[in-house]
Amino acid sequence: MSDTQAAPIPQRQNLAPLLVPLAVGALIAVGLGVYGRVHTPTGYAVGPAGFSGPLAMKTWLTTGAFALALVQVFSALVMWGRIKLDAPWIATLHRWSGRAAFLLTVPVAFHCLYALGAQFDVPRVMVHSLLGCFFYGVFVAKMLALPKRGLPGWALPVLGGLTFTVLTGLWLTSALWFFTTIGITL
């Protein structure tokens, strides 16, 4: 570079479009945590139709959501050009696998919050409770950020990656624990 040429000025990224999604997501996460702590657990919330009990139901629904989250990661990598695949249907697969994964988590979360509450006495359960609240906060932030224009290019991949990572943590602290402690049962 010569003395007369100036170094390129880095462009500042506009983070303003992320403020509302992140704030709402944080409120959701904190709100769920507070509800989970102040609500008196009922011990029962969702009938485990077709399952031997609520833990088996939660385990299998979480496993289904986790499997669909793997589809989400694969389809996102294809959509972002990280995996080369001529698949015009990949965006549809991404949207519907995400919707299905989310729907599988709803009865699990309802049972966890309503029947059990947020618990902090056992480390695994404490981590699971915190991850559950964080999952819904990150998910809401990602959904609210999707239609926003002017987001930094890293915003959606980071929010999607966080959503996947937290769901992985939830699966590890619940379903994997169930499978290794109780066994594989319906």
Which tens digit of pLDDT belongs to each residue from 121-133?
999 999 999 999 9
In a domain, 177, yes or no: yes
CB atoms within 10 A of CB 122: 10
Task: Report yes or no on 61 lying in a domain.
Answer: yes
pLDDT digits (tens, 9 = 90+) for 119-178: 889 999 999 999 999 999 999 999 999 988 888 889 999 999 999 999 999 999 999 999
Q: Let me know if residue 17 belongs to a domain.
A: no
Helices and strands: H and E segment counts in the chain: 6, 0
Amino acid in position 38 = V
pLDDT of residue 159: 95
Q: Is 51 left (phi over 0), alpha (psi -120 to 50) or beta?
A: beta
Q: Does position 9 have pLDDT exceeding 70, yes or no?
A: no
In total, how many domains does the chain have? Answer: 1
Domain region containing 92: 53-181
Residues with Cβ within 8 Å of 110's Cβ and at least 6 positions away in sequence, in order, are 45, 46
Predicted TM-score of the model (pTM): 0.86
Residue 35 lies inside a defined structural domain of this protein: no
Q: Among 155, 146, 172, 161, which residue's Cα sits nearest to residue 69?
A: 161
Residue 18 lies in a domain: no
Q: For the segment 101-113, what is each residue's pLDDT rounded down to a tens digit? A: 999 999 999 999 9
d(CA 161, CA 164): 5
- Contact between residue 181 and residue 66 where contact means Cβ atoms under 8 Å apart: no
